[in-house]
Amino acid sequence: MSKALEFTVPFLAETAEIRVDPWGISHIKAASRHDVFFAQGFNAARDRLWQIDVWRKRGLGRLAADYGPGFLAQDRACRLFLYRGDEAAELAAYGTPDARSITEAFTAGINAYIDLALADPGLLPPEFAKTDTKPEKWDAFDVVRIRSHGLVRNVLSEAARARILARADLQTDLARRSIEPAHDIAIPDGFDPACVPDDVLDLFRLATGAVDFSPERGASSLDDAWRWTKVTDQGDVYLQGSNNWVVAGSRTDTGRPILASDPHRAHSLPSLRQIVHLTTPDLDVIGAGEPALPGLCIGHNDHAAFGLTIFPMDQEDLIVLETHPDDPNLFRWQDGWERMEVVHETIAVRGHPDQTVEMKFTRHGPVVCEKPGLAFAVRSVWFTPGGSAYFASLSYLDARSPQQFEQALAHWASPSVNQVYADRDGNIGWYVAGFSPVRPNWDGLLPVPGDGRYEWAGFTDFSHLPKSLNPEKGYFATANEMNLPDGYDNETHKLGFEWAEHSRSNRIHQVLDGENRHTLAASMALQTDDHSIPAARLGRLIATLPGRPAALLQGWNHRLDRHSPAAALQEVWWSKHLKPALFDAVTKDAEIRKLLAPGDTETLLALLEDADPRLGDIQALLARTLDAAFADCASRMGDDPSLWAWGRLHHGAFPHPLGRITDLAGVERVAKGGSGSTVMNAGYRLSDFKVTHGASFRMVLDVGNWDASVAINAPGQSGDPRSAHYGDLATKWAEGAYVPLLYSNEAVEAATIRRYVLRPA
């Protein structure tokens, strides 16, 4: 083991230590909570400084100062979605009295590393030199007032549904997004779907999208700065979800519970998640969180484990405002007019004078689009005190019982989640958490007028959200599917009507129901399971179809294995040929076709299984599209199907964000199995089959025997291209492998390969 590297830093009461294991996981040990969160901030900056610096500058609307006029529009968009409420009310809303002290300690740690790095540029990641930029110091409030990195819904779907209704009907819209439980959508009184323009949410997409460092954008002049208002490759945020499950000791081989969690988010370099271990005399937690946030949201303490998935609660609305014919800053409110708040802010722009931008805010939220006589605002839980994504996880790090865990979740606002829990006493549980707006007279599925007729009446009381403690069947599993309990009154509470397809959930339950004794290995295998239920359903439809293409699929096990020729044919057929043919049958309108993509799997498969008359001859449709897919595969991979493989097309890749404007390399391409419909979630873009979202982080916990637990984080733990841990986990991730998630001091000490010592100044 190499000699410890020592740093002398301010604001630290006693010496703290960061031990790094062979997989790049940092185990941080300190004498107090203040010191451990300070050290966590220091360590986040040590490993991820450029990533968190861009995260902060994007969220605060400060990119143009570093990267030029091409980022001015995104700066303005992001500032629209900052939390602008009272700081004291915000920090008091998270269920922990330590919210302020934790964020102050965490950001002090980041700033301490920044000071060291500015004094010794060798400590700076190379991105700063490549772009001639410097990191900025943090204010504690920055951590929580940035909202636009979180996941809330369903404003994008509201706008899409309105645009489809303006040209078609609700039946057509089901091909885009199915509705559960069964519900009759009503067009709100006073709302005309035709009033929603194509660009209504361009600013919202820009505010919530990743930063695109293209050469063209970087070379933008001030004259064309405002052309950069569209996000070109954001993807479908509704495809971002997760799996989790918890199995009681009565169903495992050891008699201890097993908890598994793998959040599905957009893939990036560095990874969105960072695994970290925080130890003090009265706190010992390990797991994953986002590097720009203190604490962690998925993991365990010495007694209890916790993991989350998205519960697709409807937490935002698109508001249509009638504006005054003589003054567009006035909007109709009840029997009169109300004035928007007009805010002017100065944005620094590299190489140019500061620019002043105008932003408008209403009682419902920021104005994101204006047309003659109309304005559109976004109302979101983001603007409520306590709405910062994942920050409320600080309140359950100490949980030692289901009751304590549940009490902590009462303060959880966003994103809305399924939380699973297990502890050493043998308890397992499931809890839905999130702020669910009460909509007394509408369902939230379409935009509504902002004249006072459609107003939130607070949030659903936490006691009315679903939960389950120690279920009789001995396990609980979620995968973003519609999992409201039987008898739950969703017509009253209206938690949500738009969910993920059931493929992942059905497969998880199928596997868990069929087991006698669950094991850690079984959880790992299930997290990386590539069995495709949609493929199996299509297989039944072509069971008697003649021809060579059908024969390749008829003897197949429906696993989207990266080495499988049949898997390649199946996915090319479904995504590039059959699905477009189904869209053609649903509508001939090219504009609606664009809105339907990527399409609702449940609805589209049901069209085939139910022989929808719009499809004509089903067998002819299947044969025609399958033949076309077979020829497509041959053009891509050669005439010999035995040489085809899904992984030749479907791949994970982690390009450097600056890869198009610098010589900084990313992590090379790796063959990948699965799809967005498999438990091993690996959704891909159609243009090149690159995996864009899925589980870059996975965790399986042996509750009580913590050192036996495992995890993986792709492509690696570090964001510094010079680090050995920059991309060292990508191959393991692609293969479905894991690394140890060591917890005990003895195990961590034995595995430590690098040590950093922080001494108080």
pLDDT at 239: 56
Q: Tens of pLDDT along 129-158?
A: 999 999 999 999 999 999 998 889 999 999
What is the total residue count of the chain?
761
Extract the tokens encoding 611: 């022989």
Q: Which of 393, 235, 242, 245 is nearest to 310 (CA)?
A: 242
Residues 297 and 393 sit within 8 Å (Cβ to Cβ): yes
* Residue with tokens 């036996």, as numbered in its chain: 708
pTM higher than the cut 0.85: yes
pLDDT at 240: 67
The three-class DSSP label of residue 60 is: helix
pLDDT at 265: 87
Extract the tokens encoding 40: 């966590």
Contact residues for 230 (Cβ-Cβ < 8 A; gap 6+): 202, 205, 206
* Count of domains forming the chain: 1
* Residue with tokens 């992984």, as numbered in its chain: 647
Contact residues for 117 (Cβ-Cβ < 8 A; gap 6+): 45, 49, 123, 124, 135
- Asked if residue 634 belongs to a domain, the reply is yes
Domain span at residue 614 reads 533-651
Q: Tens of pLDDT along 682-724?
A: 999 999 999 999 998 999 999 999 999 999 999 999 999 999 9
- Asked if residue 598 belongs to a domain, the reply is yes
Q: How buried is residue 338: exposed, middle or buried, by Cβ count under 10 Å (0-12/13-18/19+)?
A: middle
Residues 37 and 12 sit within 8 Å (Cβ to Cβ): no
Q: Could you give the CA distance from residue 172 to residue 176 in angstroms, rounded to a whole number?
A: 8
E-strand spans in 622-685?
651-654, 667-671, 682-684
What single letter denotes the amino acid at residue 228? W
pLDDT at 151: 86
- Asked if residue 586 belongs to a domain, the reply is yes
pLDDT at 241: 76
Q: Could you give the CA distance from residue 297 to residue 242 in angstroms, rounded to a whole number?
A: 14
Q: How many CB atoms lie within 10 A of CB 711?
A: 25
- Asked if residue 638 belongs to a domain, the reply is yes
The three-class DSSP label of residue 723 is: coil
pLDDT at 489: 95
- Asked if residue 266 belongs to a domain, the reply is no
Residues 272 and 290 sit within 8 Å (Cβ to Cβ): yes
CATH number at residue 594: 1.10.1400
Give ∠ CA 315-320-323 in degrees, rounded to 5: 145
- Asked if residue 636 belongs to a domain, the reply is yes
- Asked if residue 2 belongs to a domain, the reply is no
Report residues of the chain scoring pLDDT below 50: 234-235
